[in-house]
Structure 1
Amino acid sequence: MSVTQEKTGIIHTLGAYALWGVLPIYWKLLETVSPGETLAHRIIWSAIFMIIIVLSVGKWHELLREWKALMQNRRKFIGVFMATTVISLNWLTFIWAVHNDHVIQASLGYYINPLISILLGILVLKESFTFRQTISFIMAAIGVLYLTISYGVFPWISLLLATSFGLYGLLKKKIDIGPMIGLTIETMLISPIALLFLCFLPQSTFQWGTILSTTNMLLIGAGVVTAIPLLLFASGAKRISLSLVGFLQYLAPTLMLLIGVFLYNEPFTSAHFIAFLFIWLALINYLLASYQKPTKKQFQKAN
C-alpha cells in the first residue's frame, strides 16, 4: 500500500471518528423532538440517503442481490434483523442520553466498548482471553463499580451503549455484508416500523407544510449525519492497519467527553475522574497488549 493511500485512509478514518464524536451537538439541536420521533426520522432518512448513494456509485445490482439472498435465507434474515434491532436501540439510547444531559456517560460507554467486545468474543465466539486483557477488563470494571458506589446510580446508559454496539459488531461479523450495502438493507428493513411509529404519533414535530423549517431540515439531515461517517470509515479502514483503526477509535468518546464537560457543563467530579482514570489505564494496557509482538513461545503455539 502506498504512502498516499495510507494518508487518505488516516484522514478518512479520523474524519469518521471526529464526526461521530461531535454528533451530540447535532442531537442537542433536536432536543425539542422526542427521542423516539428523532430515531424514526433517522432510520427513514438514512434509508433514503443510502439508496441514493448506492444508486450514484453503481451498486444497485449488489443491493438487489444481497436483498434477494436475505429473503431466501431465514437464518441470515434473522441475523440482519437482530443487528438492525440492536443498532436502533443503540441510536435511541444515545439520542436519549444527549437530550437528558448524559453526554459524559455516553462517552464512557464508547470508551469501554472495546472491552465489552472482547468479553462478547470470549462468551460467544469462544475466543481466548489473555492475561493483559483480563487485567484491562478488571480495571474497567473497578472504574464502573466505583462510579456506581459513589453516586448510588448504576451507569446503565454506558453499559447499554457499549453492549448494544458490541452485539451489533458481533452480528455484523457473522452476517458478512459490506458496510454500505449493510446499512442500506438494515435501514430499509426497519423503515416500515419507523414509518408506522410516525403515523401513530399523536402529534408529529415534522410538518410537510413547513418543509424548510430548521427542525424539519435537521430531521432530514439525520440520515446524512448517520451515513457520511460510516462511508468515510468504510473508505479509511480498508487503507490502514486494524491496530491503527483501534487506536483512532478513541477520538470519538474523547470528543464526546470534552463536549459534555466544556460545552454543556455536565458535572465532572472527582468520582468521575477516578472512574475514567481506571478505564483509561485499562485501555492503555489493552492497546499496549495489542501492539506487543508475540513471544517465540506464543508464535510456535500459534503455528
Structure 2
Amino acid sequence: MSTGTRIDRAGLWGAVASFVLWGLMPLYWHQLKVVPSLQIVLHRIVWSALLVALWLVVTQGGGWWRKVKARPRAAAMLGVTSLLITFNWGLYIWAVNAGHVIEGSLGYYINPLVNVVLGVLVLRERLNPAQWVAVALAAAGVLWLTVALGQLPWIALGLALSFAAYGLLRKVLAVDAVLGLGVEGAYLFLPALAALVWLELSGQGHFTSGWGLGIDLLLVLGGALTALPLIGFAFAVRRVPYTIVGMLQYISPTLQLLVGALVLGEAFPRERMLGFGLIWLGLAVFAVDGWRQSRHRAPAPATPMER
C-alpha cells in the first residue's frame, strides 16, 4: 500500500461499524439466556436466511441463484461451510450464555494465526521467520493457559478452528461473502424451520409461547445482527486496503473481552492475563510483519467474517 493511497471514508466506517457490532454481540445474546442456545441458533439461521435472500433479490434479482447453479462444485462446498458456521455460531452463543465470553474472545484473537497454520498444512504455504515467531508465541500462550488454568481452552480452540476451516474453504471457493451466506442459508433454512416448528408444537419452544414480545423480537432481530455486519464488511473490503481491514478486525475480540470482564463480570486473573499477553505479542509480531509485506505487494482479497 503506497503512502498516497486514499481511504474511502464510507468503506472505513462500514468496516468499523461491522467490527463494533460483532464485538458487542455478547450483550445481545446475553439478553436471550433464558432461551436454549440451540433454539437461538435455529432462529438466527431462519431470520438471517430470509433477510439475506431478500437483500440478494433486491440487489441482484433472481440471477443470484443462477450464479450458484453455474458452479455446482462451489454450491456443494457451501453445504460444508454451512455446517461449519452453524457449529461456530452454536458454540459461541453457548459460550456467551454459559459465562465464557472472555474465552470466546480468545478464539477470535488466535484465529488469524490458526489461518496461517492451516495455510502451511493445507495450502503448502511457507512461513517467514517472523510468522514462525508469531505462531510460537500464540502456542506458548495456549500452553500456558492450559497449565495455569488446569484445562485446555477448548472453547477458544473450537471457535478458532471451526472459523479458520470455514474461512479456508470460502477462500478456496472465492465466492462473494453475502452471496455465499445466502447459499448457506438456503441449505440450512428448511431444517432449521422444521426444528423450530417441532419445538413449538411440542411445547419446548420459546417463540410466541408466553415468554414475552421482547424475547420474540430479540430472536427475530438476531437474524439482522447476523446479516447486517457481514453486508457492511463486504461493502468495506472493496473500498479499504486489506492491511487496514486486517488491523481493524481486532476491534471485535477486544470489545468482547471488555464486555466479558467489565460488563458481565467474568474473572480475568493474572494467570489468564499472562496467557493472553503472549498471544497478543504474537499478534503484534504478525501484524507488523503483514504491514511490512504489504508495502511491497498488492493487497490480497479479504475473507468473510461471520459471528
**TM-score, with structure 2 as normaliser:** 0.90
- Contact 1:110–1:158 (8 Å) recurs in 2: yes
1:293 CA drift (Å): 4.6
* SS class of match (2:122): helix
Change (3 A) 1:295 1:195: closer
Per the alignment, in what secondary structure is the counterpart of residue 126 of structure 2? coil
Deviation track 1:132-169 (CA, whole Å, cap 9, x = no partner) reads: 11111110011111111111111111011111111111
What is residue 303 of structure 2 aligned with on the other side?
none
Runs of 5+ consecutive residues of structure 2 not aligned to the other structure: 298-307
Aligned twin of 2:75 = 77
Paired residue for 2:43? 41
C-alpha contact (below 8 Å) 1:101/1:266 kept by paired residues: yes
Alignment of 1:1-303 (within 5 A): 3=6, 6-57=8-59, 59-70=60-71, 73=72, 75-201=73-199, 202=202, 203-207=204-208, 213-293=213-293
Q: How many residues align?
A: 291
CA contact (8 A) 1:211 1:217 kept: no
- Output the aligned Cα RMSD: 2.1
Amino acid at match of 1:220: V
Which position in structure 2 is the counterpart of 1:301?
A: none
- Higher helix fraction: Structure 1 or Structure 2? 1
Q: Could you tell me which amino acid in structure 2 is paired with residue 126 of structure 1?
A: R
Q: 1:189 to 1:266 in 2, by over 3 A?
A: same
Amino acid at match of 1:157: I
1:66 deviation in Å?
2.5
Spell out, residue by residue over 1:172-226, the C-alpha distance to the aligned partner (whole angstroms, 9 max, x if none): 112222112111111111111212222333411012x779701111111111000
Unaligned runs of 5+ in 1: 299-303
| Structure 1 contact 261–267 (Cα < 8 Å) conserved | yes
Q: Which deviates further from its counterpart, 247-256 or 77-86?
A: 77-86
Q: Does the CA contact (< 8 Å) of 2:68 and 2:75 recur in 1?
A: no
Q: Identical aligned pairs, as a percentage? A: 35
> Match of 1:292, as an amino acid?
R
Decide whether the 8 Å contact of 2:18 with 2:229 is kept in 1.
yes
- Cα displacement string for residues 50-109 of structure 1 (whole angstroms, at most 9, x for unaligned residues): 12212232x123322134235xx2x32331111111011110010000010000000000
1-structure distance, mates of 2:105, 2:217: 27
What is the CA–CA distance in structure 2 between the aligned matches of 1:66 and 1:43, rounded to whole Å? 22
Aligned pair in 2 of structure 1 residues 69, 295: CA closer, same or farther (>3 Å)? closer
Q: What is the letter of the counterpart of residue 63 of structure 2?
A: E
AA in 2 matched with 1:64: W
SS of residue matched to 1:125: coil
Instruction: Output the CA distance in 2 between the equivalents of 1:66 and 1:32.
Output: 40
Mapped to 1, the partners of 2:270 and 2:218 lie a distance apart of 36
Question: CA 1:196–1:273 in structure 2 vs 1: closer, same or farther (change >3 Å)?
Answer: same
